[in-house]
Structure 1
Amino acid sequence: MHAFRVSERQRAAGIDVDEPTMPEGATEVLASLGLAYIVVDTVDGVVRANPAAYAFGLVRGHTVVHQEVLNLTSRVRGDGVIIEEQLELPRGLQGETSIVVNLRVAPLGDEYILVLADDRTEVSRTEAVRNDFVANVSHELKTPVGAISLLAETIEDAAEDEDAVRRFSQRLHKESNRLAALVQDIIELSRVQGKNVVHAGVPVDLNKVISEAMDRSRLPAEAKNIELRLGGKLPRRVHGDFDQLTMAFRNLIDNAVRYSPEDTRVGIGLSSRDGIAQVTITDQGIGISPEDKERIFERFYRVDAARSRQTGGTGLGLSIVKHVIGNHGGEVALWSQQGKGSTFTVRLPELEEGLNDLTGLGTEGREVAETLQLKEQSAGAPQSTAGGNA
């Protein structure tokens, strides 16, 4: 028995097992692609995967998570033909989110299948938003354009009736103004989305921003005998774009005036606390229902479409506000109660004292200057209470 076991061990040692190996240079090429990749064997076991594949939730341990991906590897293994598909796959331990990936599945040598994954989630989301935006714009433009065309035909038919011509001309003028306002808001929204405030911004005095926004809204307020009342003052500046901030606060004030009854008041309050500038705009208008508050910042969303047409609203003003404040690292919140009015609250991070005059240095220059100033402050005399609070 002992001799038999020795013989078996010798025979096993002499067997040359030819295990499958990755093609020469494949590892280096995969590492340089910049994509998530998975290499599976003949039974779909993961033999190699980079961190991106795990981050995308495609691989867990040595297992490919999604059956849809395994179906592709099976097809490639059977046909030997490269497959490219875009899939939306659940992501997370419970599939609570999803990821859109462009998958390219191909044979790798004789034993392996390679899966390349490119994350297209943001691209798909952007395309969906763009398509939705184009559809909404087309719909919104049809109404004033159609009205203008119809009114022009009516005026032509009633050329001999002076009263009718005058009445329809006034409506034509109103529709043309509405169309111009809509086009202008679309242009402003596009400009807001295309500018990088972080890199192009400068220190901005919000007191001047609010004053400018109030001046631009004063005429429609006076037409309804609405008082614009300002209270408070902001001690520090913010980093951002003066024109964009003015546009955002003008939209908020215009919105308050538009939906407020005549002979009322719109209050603008300024305050500062813990390095945050806060601006509140309060009206005595019709208020907003809880279900509408959830969607009030969406593009083209209107609480009352008929009332918006009467007041000249385009449905883009609050969407512009949200984009502008978000680009400045701030937030905008809404409190409202039907029949009691609404309050929009904007919070923006303030610049620390001594760091407000770093314009023209560029991003890296500002960071260096800020670091030097902080070192000087820490090495110098103790700051006053006001300086410490800043």
Structure 2
Amino acid sequence: MDPVLIGVIAGLVGLSCGVFGVLAFRLSERQRKIVDLDVTEPLLPEGAAEVLSVVGRAFVVVDAIDGVVRASPAAYAYGLVRGHTVVHKQLLDMTAKVRRDGVILEETYELPRGPLGKGTIVVQVRAAMLGWEYIVLLADDRTEITRTEEIRNDFVANVSHELKTPVGAISLLAEALEASPDDEEAVRRFAKRMHKESTRLAALVQDIIELSRLQGANVAQQGHAVDINTVISEAVDRSQLPAELKNIKIVVGGRTETMVFGDQDLLVTALRNLIDNAIRYSPENTRVGVGVRAKEGVVAISVTDQGEGLSPEDQERIFERFYRVDAARSRQTGGTGLGLSIVKHVVSNHGGEVTVWSQPGQGSTFTIRLPEMEGQEDDDAGAKPRSVIQTTGAVRALEQGAGA
């Protein structure tokens, strides 16, 4: 046979095999894509996906065997879903009941945020059928709302308890005075006690009013440039009388030209509370130190006393409302248990923090740290006065701190 003819026939056979191979590959690819589409994109009822994307809640869609077929990023962030699995048994119990009874359920659960640690999240979950095959879980994060409500309830209960003590004491003393009109010594003794209890009651009411005012204060909008040296001077001046009564000397060290953005009156109140605390718990004939320094964009004000110091357990709770290290001594010295809570709230509203260092028998040092105001310039020609400098960086820090 002619070699040329053999070559032509072989070429045609090879071409035919190549064409059939390409067609077979394309058909296989098309079928694989269809299968993948069916696996990764389950067919939800028409319009369901669009509605779920705008409901404003975390959502999870599960199938007949509780496999996750669709979930929002928030559902993963809340720790409700891991991979294609619903994590929490409480949610699976909801889906089982909805599937069995065909009802709509709504429950609130406190669930672990993840497999590690003790962090929890409070979620309000609504479960309902989605078509004939799927169940949708809608979850709303209620953690902050729940905790705020608990704090408010505790605060009201604590206020009621704290007010009962001085009010009850004044009532009893008034009855004692009424029963002893002719006993001058008893009248003087009871009157002195009434004066002490009324002073304590007035201080407690004033601190409660101060806390209420802080709740509504918007430092970011009402603030201005504040000279820390002026804040320290005013706070020390207001604390001189109780210091003189115990022969305690207030020593101020350091000075800074750095300004902070905020409310001067609130900062004076916070620092005065720290100084008054130091005076209250320091022995007579001692010293209370107030120091200030500015470094790396932070202004730090420290108040050091020579008291008995705090245990590690007390240091963890010292800023809680109405917490007292020694309740009996606090009542004797006139403490309300709200001073350090006010300090923490003021400093947080200014985008800063307050910390404590203490060891039993070595006294305590409380330190306020505040962000310095950006964009400060010397008051040279053409420079704006410090009192009107306001920067977006400082305002942003304050707005973040105001939510704490």
- Report TM bin, short chain: 0.7 to 0.9
> Does 2:275 align with 1:265?
no
Partner residue of 1:164 out of 152, 172, 186: 186
Q: Which amino acid aligns with 1:53?
A: A
TM-score, normalised on structure 1? 0.85
Partner of 1:33, secondary structure, is coil
Mapping 1:1-390, distance limit 5 Å: 21-94=43-116, 96-352=118-374, 353-354=376-377, 357=386, 359=388
Asked if the contact 1:151/1:168 (under 8 Å) is kept, the reply is yes
Closer/same/farther in 2, CA of residues 366 and 36 from structure 1, 3 Å limit: closer
Residue type of the alignment partner of 1:333 = T
In the aligned structure 2, how far is the partner of 1:270 from the partner of 1:89? 44
Query: For structure 1, which runs of at least 5 residues remain unmatched after alignment?
Result: 1-16, 368-390
Q: Is the contact between residue 228 and residue 266 of structure 1 (CA under 8 Å) also seen in structure 2? A: yes
Distance in structure 1 (CA, Å) of the matches to 2:129 and 2:252: 70
Structure with larger Rg: 2
Q: Distance in 2 between matches of 1:171 and 1:32?
A: 64
Inter-partner Cα distance in structure 2 for 1:212 and 1:358: 18
Flag the 1:163–1:318 CA change in 2: closer, same or farther, 3 A.
same
Displacement of 1:194: 2.7
Q: Structure 1 pair 136/197, CA: closer, same or farther in 2 (3 Å)?
A: same
CA contact (8 A) 1:102 1:120 kept: yes
Between the aligned partners of 1:223 and 1:29, the Cα distance in structure 2 is: 70
TM-score, with structure 2 as normaliser: 0.82
Cα pair 1:197 1:328 within 8 Å, conserved:
yes
Aligned equivalents of 1:187, 1:270: Cα separation in 2: 29
Q: Which amino acid aligns with 1:69?
A: L
- Count residues with an aligned counterpart: 350
Residues 94-149 of structure 1, C-alpha deviation per residue, up to 9 Å, x if partnerless?
36311100001111111111110000011111111111111211111111111111
Runs of 4+ in structure 1 off by over 6 angstroms are 364-367
The SS at the match of 2:165 is helix
Task: Flag the 1:46–1:150 CA change in 2: closer, same or farther, 3 A.
Answer: same
Q: Assess, with a 3 A threshold, how the Cα gap between structure 1 residues 45 and 95 changes in structure 2: closer, same or farther.
A: farther
Write the distance in 1 (CA, Å) between the matches of 2:395 and 2:359.
44
Distance 1:364 1:258, change over 3 A: closer
Alpha-carbon distance in 2 for matches of 1:303, 1:365: 35
- 1-structure distance, mates of 2:134, 2:350: 49
Q: Give, in whole Å, the separation in 1 of the partners of 2:394 and 2:336.
A: 41
Q: Which amino acid aligns with 2:44?
A: M
Deviates more, 1:61-70 or 1:20-29: 20-29
- Asked if structure 2 preserves the Cα contact closer than 8 Å seen for 1:237 and 1:356, the reply is no
Q: Give the counterpart letter for 1:279 in structure 2.
A: I
- Give, in angstroms, the shift of residue 275 of structure 1: 2.0
Equivalent residue number for residue 372 of structure 1: none
Q: Distance in 1 between matches of 2:393 and 2:118?
A: 39
Aligned Cα RMSD in Å? 2.2
Secondary structure class of the residue paired with 2:157: helix
Q: Gapped runs of 5+ residues in structure 2?
A: 1-37, 378-383, 397-404
Range with bigger deviation, 212-221 or 355-364: 355-364
CA contact (8 A) 2:373 2:394 kept: no
Superposed displacement of residue 361, structure 1: 7.0
Alpha-carbon distance change, 202 to 302 in structure 1, aligned in 2, over 3 angstroms: same
Tell me if the contact between 1:213 and 1:249 (Cα under 8 Å) persists in the aligned partners. Answer: yes
CA drift at 1:359: 4.1
Given that residues 203 and 356 in structure 1 are in contact (C-alpha distance below 8 angstroms), is that contact kept between their aligned partners in structure 2? no
Contact 1:39 1:112 in 2 (8 A): yes
Cα distance in 2 for partners of 1:337, 1:55 equals 40
Distance 1:259 1:250 in 2: 14
Q: Distance in 1 between matches of 2:313 and 2:109?
A: 33
